[in-house]
Amino acid sequence: MSLPLKDLRRLFIADLSETGVDNPDLDVDLILSHFMGVSRSWIHCHGEFPFEGATLDLMKEAVFRRKGREPLHYILGSCPFWGKTLSVRSGTLIPRPETEFLVEVALNYFDGGTFVDWGTGSGCITCAILSDRPDASCIAVDSEASAIEVAYGNLRREGFLNRCLLWHGSTPESIPVASGTVDLIVSNPPYIPSEDVPSLMPEVARYEPRSALDGGRDGLDPYRMLLPWAKRTLRPGGLLWVEFGGADQVRPLEEMAPSGMSLLEVRNDLSGIPRLMGWR
Ligand code: GLN
């Protein structure tokens, strides 16, 4: 028996709306378009399409998982980032728009050379920079084996394995790179204060890896490791760009920078929250 697509869509949206999901219409559209292999606009133009595919069970399962507040991108297994479709699964943070902003700002200062991506997760920052800077090469580092696996898959699919060393390690000291040689260090480390993690939205608190979110008591532990190492590792004139959690962290981060590193800029995100900081 077939059902017009618009009715199926309406049923799924009603089902998801009961659970407090932020944008049920959008999520249902993305589930439908993923499993039907069509664009979102196709769905909006073909409401009378008589749906009777074998994919119905897969869609129902996806909606069911989303009702349990599992992030949409874990359910779909992929996430858009910098014009690419990257694989994501539990064990790696889902790339955020703020992190595309980190890429954009870092690229303004980076023409090519060597960079380090500390806490690469899915490899999103590394893939973006390598695709826009064909002469760049990098070391992408993560402390979690599950992230290294996902990043490896993304780098392989994008054709970047020949320009990237993936390094599994939890302290920057372990990274095999000589002092004073790196042109750019970028990082989106975990920066949420430990006690705030449980009250993040359920998608994040219940499903995303704590290791990618929890930055210790004040959220700044990773920067305490990163900044002194960055100072030693950057070449003269090299740059460090990091993402961080907001206004409360600006002053402590400024004060944490070792002498000899000069602050370039603090950039606000779309919501007006201070989000990126760069040093030379
Ligand atoms: N931006 C993420 C969030 O708010 C946190 C990412 C991070 O700690 N680096 O969920």
Do 63 and 99 fall within a single domain? no
Band (pLDDT 50/70/90 cuts) for residue 55 is confident
Residue 154's pLDDT is what?
98
**Final residue belonging to a domain, choices 49, 68, 87:** 68
Residues 162 and 248 grouped into a single domain: yes
Specify the pLDDT at position 54. Answer: 79
Ligand 1 centroid to 124 CA: how many Å? 14
Contacts of residue 266, Cβ cutoff 8 Å, sequence gap at least 6: 250, 274, 276, 277
* In-domain check, residue 195: yes
Relative to beta strand 182-187, strand 137-142 is unpaired
Name all residues whose Cβ lies below 6 A of ligand 1: 93, 96, 188-192, 200, 204, 213
Whether residue 217 is found in the same domain as residue 275: yes
What spacing in Å lies between the alpha carbon of 212 and ligand 1's midpoint? 7
Q: Does one domain contain both 48 and 150?
A: no
**What average pLDDT does range 97-110 have in this prediction?**
96
Residue 27 to residue 11: CA distance in whole angstroms:
13
With a cut of 80, say whether residue 95 has pLDDT above it. Answer: yes
- Domain presence at residue 153: yes
Q: To test the ligand 1 pocket, which listed residue (22, 192, 208) has its Cβ within 8 A of the most ligand atoms?
A: 192
The beta-strand segments (E) located in 171-252 are: 182-187, 234-243
Domain that holds residue 157: 78-279
- pLDDT single digits (tens) 14-50: 999 999 899 999 999 999 999 999 999 999 999 999 8
Q: How far is the CA of 219 from the centre of ligand 1 (A)?
A: 10
pLDDT of residue 73: 98
Q: Are residues 135 and 87 in the same domain?
A: yes
Residue 53 scores a pLDDT above 80? no
Residue 85 pLDDT: 97
Distance from residue 140's CA to the centre of ligand 1 (Å): 19
The DSSP 8-state label assigned to residue 83 in this structure reads T
Residue 35 neighbours by CB distance under 10 Å: 18
Q: Which of the listed residues 44, 68, 92 is the one where a domain comes to its end?
A: 68
**Domain-located, residue 241:** yes
Q: Are residues 108 and 34 in the same domain?
A: no
Question: Do residue 49 and residue 89 come from a single domain?
Answer: no
pLDDT of 2 strictly over 90: no
Residue 190: CATH number of its domain: 3.40.50.150
pLDDT in tens, 116-161: 999 999 999 999 999 999 999 999 999 999 999 999 999 999 999 9
- Here the ipTM equals 0.92
Residue nearest to atom 1 of ligand 1 (CA): 96
Residue 97 covered by a domain: yes
C-alpha 245/C-alpha 78 separation (Å) is: 25
Q: How far apart are CA 242 and CA 52, in angstroms?
A: 48
Torsion region of 112: left, alpha or beta (phi above 0 gives left; psi -120 to 50 gives alpha): left
Q: Model confidence at 52, in pLDDT bands (50, 70, 90)?
A: confident
pLDDT tens readout for residues 211-256: 999 999 999 999 999 999 999 999 999 999 999 999 999 999 999 9
pLDDT digits (tens, 9 = 90+) for 157-201: 999 999 999 999 999 999 999 999 999 999 999 999 999 999 999
For residue 51, what pLDDT is reported?
86
Task: Please tell me whether residues 244 and 190 are part of one structural domain.
Answer: yes
If asked whether residues 158 and 178 sit together in one domain, one would say yes
Give pLDDT, residue 37: 93
Specify whether 56 is located in the same domain as 141. Answer: no
For the CA of 201, the nearest atom of ligand 1: 10
Confirm whether 73 is domain-assigned: no
Q: Whose CA is nearest to atom 5 of ligand 1?
A: 213
CA atoms within 13 A on the CB side of 27: 28
**How much is the average pLDDT of 93-99?**
96
- Give the Cα separation of 72 and 19 in Å (integer): 14
8 Å CB contact between 95 and 79 = yes
From 238, 236, 277, 233, select the one nearest 254 (Cα to Cα).
Answer: 277
Q: Domain tally for the chain?
A: 2
Q: What is the pLDDT of residue 1?
A: 72
Provide the residue type at 142 as one letter.
D
